[in-house]
Amino acid sequence: MLTMEEGNFFKGYYMILGGLLAPLDHSPADALEMQRLYDRLAEGQVKELILALGATADAEATATYVREQVGRRFPGVRVTRLAQGIPLGAEVRFMDRETLRQSLRFRQEL
């Protein structure tokens, strides 16, 4: 598995949120490192927050929560997430329903 550092294609900073929200398990939002994130954003240098999360229900819940919280406190910061969908080299006919749904949702202009 390739890490962001090994890929050498991202020249920014990152931090670990400390987990994911799990609504079905009633995990509290305070389990996330949101104050550290707020402190970093308050410095005024960050223009875009990229969420590098998977395609699970917990990741979706976490992305929604972070987007809402950051958007409320720091409206000038763009909140994005890594693209999701069909992996490079894969055949569309072998994709599961959710992967196809995500691929359509996060499609790109050509």
**Number of structural domains in the chain:** 1
Average pLDDT of the chain to the nearest whole number = 87
Q: What is the CATH number of the domain that holds 26?
A: 3.40.1360.10
Instruction: Report yes or no on 101 lying in a domain.
Output: no
Question: Which residues fall within 8 angstroms of residue 48, CB to CB, at 6 or more apart?
Answer: 77, 78, 79, 80
Q: What is the mean pLDDT of residues 4-28?
A: 81
pLDDT tens string 84-103: 888 889 999 998 888 888 88
Instruction: Report yes or no on 93 lying in a domain.
Output: no
pLDDT tens string 48-70: 999 988 888 898 899 999 999 99
Q: Both tokens of residue 85?
A: 């969908």
Q: What is the domain extent for residue 56?
A: 4-84
First to last CA, the chain: 28
Instruction: Report yes or no on 26 lying in a domain.
Output: yes
- pTM greater than 0.85 (yes/no): no
Give the residue from 43, 74, 60, 70 showing the smallest Cα distance to 105. Answer: 60
